[in-house]
Structure 1
């Protein structure tokens, strides 16, 4: 009986008063007592682990940046530095004044821009047409043709030029067939050594660079939009103009910008066609450096070519950023593969 009374007194004494007068009993297992009223031992402090400092992302980016600077930026800086170094010594802008005043430079710049723009327009039109056929017109061998386009991107440019020479050259297959049928001394095709031949070769070579992003964009089109437009009686060309082209414009612009920059810097096609009257900026660099021994003038032309390419790429990025900000996010469901 005495033990029971002591236990009750302990429980009553453990009760605590709250501000509103209600008594709250202290539960078992508090920090200082146990159910039997004995004192609980204080917990041992846990040892702190030493934090290991790991290198941040900025430190990991230093090796690739150093390799990039050594392989690319350092030779580029040497070219720019050499372009300001006349043969008489010292450093001045006199080489730029001399080269920019030459008629050969102005002619090369004009040929480069005209051929690049013409090849880009031709590649865009041909690439868009072929991409529409491959993506939306079912025919045997369409998948194999799409795989061949990926393989075509790995071909060197001079290989396409040699193929065109075998087909349309002065002693090519087309002229040979014509002379066999008519008995003429030579065939009618003799344009590969002209700007038109260079233009044809560049359009043939760079068209897959437009088709690859277009085919990727067409594969993400929602088939519901195409089916809805067809059910409303829209003709195929109207569906292409109102449904397909707005979705493919970013891919078309990306492919066109890439082809334009590549055409500005193309050297192998112009060299292997043997077009003596067609001198572009890369050909002028080769002529000044290897044939004339004018390394300073070659560096000046190279710097102008690089500046032109970078300016066109910056213009493309600016236009695309403004177009994306104006258009905003597109609403729609989950995209489905076209033709699925």
Structure 2
């Protein structure tokens, strides 16, 4: 039996690479970005002030710290442009996540209920879009959604519309692009959970008189909640900062934080304000991550407790 002190040392040693990775590729870049966000733009290289001189003494460090300010965050809080961009980013990501949940849940359920020999093929079909460049796939949607594109052409030939619909460069096009691009991220976690569910639970509920819809609603869906939460987090977090899809499909009127960040960094050369926008993005995704963690822990604890199987009134 391994002594307790040695076991703790081994656990700490195993965690060390994780902490080193997070420190090198998250904490250090975050601190640098935070420092730049507290600076002021300048016509220099780098294009911000103050710049810390590591060779300086205590006086230089004191001057450096005193020169930092929160003016960029005041701008984000008071300027309607950035407030509207933040709200629009969250709204687009939330709406797309809800649509993804509605599409991916029955799709993953159908794959999990398929014969075992077909499931690898069906999962591969979900993953196939990943084999093509993300940028090329978004450009393909331009050819589909534009007024003379494939979608309008097909609808007009079917007689469903009399003139082309204006879909490209609208919020609808952005939602279509987000749902298409992130659908596999929602399907795969759901499938991983649904494929491990015990079929006896559904059979027991059906034997007690529950309809298929009620079995799905009261047995399958609650047990699939961890996969649904994981998929929601995987989709919502990157969609908040999405740039390519709103830029190509949404047009100039679509305002999201990803586009604002690109504009401030590359067009305006305002690195401090762009860094403040990046910090705002981190803050916007921390909340969903915390909520996901708490909801996942609650769902996991709920799996261990007994669940009443729905059925006929008075069933033994």
Is residue 278 of structure 1 aligned with residue 254 of structure 2? yes
Equivalent position to 2:74, from 97, 109, 125: 97
Q: Following the alignment from structure 2 to structure 1, what is the Cα–Cα distance between the partners of residues 226 and 158?
A: 48
RMSD (Å), alpha carbons = 3.0
Is residue 264 of structure 1 aligned with residue 218 of structure 2? no
Instruction: Give deviations 1:300-328, integer Å, cap 9, x for gaps.
Output: 11100111111220122123324444x26
What's the counterpart of residue 57 of structure 2? none
Instruction: Give deviations 1:152-177, integer Å, cap 9, x for gaps.
Output: 45655434322322222223223345
What's the counterpart of residue 177 of structure 2? 201
- Compared CA separation, residues 303 and 224, structure 1 to 2 (3 A): same
Alpha-carbon offset, residue 225 of structure 1: 2.0
The structure in which a higher percent of residues are helix is 2
> How many pairs does the alignment contain?
275
Equivalent position to 1:161, from 114, 131, 138: 138
What's the counterpart of residue 84 of structure 1? 38
Q: Following the alignment from structure 1 to structure 2, what is the Cα–Cα distance between the partners of residues 228 and 81?
A: 59
Is residue 73 of structure 1 aligned with residue 49 of structure 2? no
What's the counterpart of residue 105 of structure 2? 128
Q: Following the alignment from structure 1 to structure 2, what is the Cα–Cα distance between the partners of residues 140 and 169?
A: 40
Equivalent position to 2:148, from 161, 171, 175: 171
Is residue 211 of structure 1 aligned with residue 187 of structure 2? yes
- Compared CA separation, residues 234 and 181, structure 1 to 2 (3 A): closer
| 8 Å Cα contact 1:157-1:268 kept in structure 2 | no
Structure number with greater CO (CA < 8 Å, separation at least 6) is 2
Alpha-carbon offset, residue 73 of structure 1: 2.6
- Compared CA separation, residues 155 and 122, structure 1 to 2 (3 A): farther
Alpha-carbon offset, residue 248 of structure 1: 0.8
Alpha-carbon offset, residue 66 of structure 1: 4.2
Instruction: Give deviations 1:238-270, integer Å, cap 9, x for gaps.
Output: 111122112111111221122111211222211
What's the counterpart of residue 37 of structure 1? none
Q: Following the alignment from structure 2 to structure 1, what is the Cα–Cα distance between the partners of residues 254 and 110?
A: 34
Equivalent position to 1:190, from 152, 160, 166: 166
Map of 1:34-53 to 2, 5 A cutoff?
Answer: none
| Residue ranges of structure 2 left out of the alignment (5+ in a row) | 1-5, 43-48, 50-66, 308-316
| 8 Å Cα contact 1:160-1:201 kept in structure 2 | no
Equivalent position to 1:249, from 225, 228, 231: 225
Q: Following the alignment from structure 1 to structure 2, what is the Cα–Cα distance between the partners of residues 288 and 67?
A: 29
Instruction: Give deviations 1:86-143, integer Å, cap 9, x for gaps.
Output: 2374211111112321121011112101101100000000001212222225699654
What's the counterpart of residue 337 of structure 1? none
| Residue ranges of structure 1 left out of the alignment (5+ in a row) | 1-52, 333-340
Q: Following the alignment from structure 2 to structure 1, what is the Cα–Cα distance between the partners of residues 298 and 284?
A: 21
- Name the stretch that deviates more: 222-231 or 250-259: 222-231
What's the counterpart of residue 310 of structure 2? none
What's the counterpart of residue 224 of structure 1? 200
Flag the structure with larger Rg: 1
